[in-house]
Amino acid sequence: MLKTKDILDEKDKRLRMVSKDVSFPLTKKDKDTIQTMIQYLHDSQIEELSEKYDLRPGMGMSAIQLGIPKRYFVVVNEIDEGEFETYVLINPKIISNSVEKIYVEMGEGCLSVNRPVEGIVPRYARVTMEAYDMEGRKVHIRAREELAICFQHELDHLNGILFVDHIDKKDPFKGKDQYRAI
């Protein structure tokens, strides 16, 4: 079972690597890793399991956060109490985005950043992602608001970028009035 301590901390230089495209068919190891990531994200969002297994709650995870420099990530989005939608995006890219930008009012978080971080991270309010599923079929996913932010956050990981890189060091709330808070 994946534990919080298995997730790379921001100080680990591997998080700054640009991940490589994945070829198909997926290896058994990649399939197993994806299932492990899904399980962690699912369980981490259920309070009793999160406490029982000492999991930091998270909605998304990229392979690089486990030290695997491959271009895939998983998002487990709670759409209703105890009801989840799971997304596995392999070799993802944004093919279109809104002009409007938003930010998380309470601040973005990350399983690899184990400290409070203040500031805004401007993100597109809506994105359309092109990626491949676990069988190698091309998929298009339209996302908005929180889900769009999560996809952009995870895609950044694949390019060696952490959310803290987007925050202006001198003025963490710079541009706040130009974007919509969610």
Residues involved in catalysis = 154
Q: DSSP for 32-76, please give it.
A: HHHHHHHHHHHHHTSHHHHHHTT----SEEEGGGGT--BSEEEEE
181 CB-contact burial (10 Å; exposed 0-12 / middle 13-18 / buried 19+): exposed
Residues 23, 94, 72, 37, CA torsion sign: negative
Helices (H) and strands (E) in the chain, counts: 3, 8
Question: 153: which 2 tokens?
Answer: 């956050």
CA distance readout (Å), 78 to 21, 27, 60, 82, 133: 28, 28, 11, 7, 20
CA distance readout (Å), 52 to 45, 46, 49, 56, 79: 12, 10, 5, 11, 23
